[in-house]
Amino acid sequence: MANVADLKTKTDDELSTELNNLKREQFNLRFQAATNQLEKPSRVKEVRRSIAQIKTLQTERTRSAAK
């Protein structure tokens, strides 16, 4: 799981790439959960939290750019 400080140093493009990767992983984890093949259930929570942190950072950046 990425640290918030690490995420803040990334560029917008890097954040978008990271977000896409996490969403893909989230999809795969949901698929594994549906077929009872999930090895680490805690990973679902970590991925959701990381997605939320990236989206929050993106929102903060767009709001500060609008000012």
pLDDT digits (tens, 9 = 90+) for 17-30: 999 999 999 999 99
Q: What is the pLDDT of residues 19-63, one digit of tens each?
A: 999 999 999 999 999 999 999 999 999 999 999 999 999 999 999
Q: Is the Cβ–Cβ distance between 62 and 15 less than 8 Å?
A: no
Q: Is the pLDDT of residue 11 over 70?
A: yes
Q: Which residues lie below 8 Å from residue 59, measured CB to CB, with a gap of 6+?
A: none
Q: What is residue 33's predicted lDDT score, i.e. its pLDDT?
A: 95
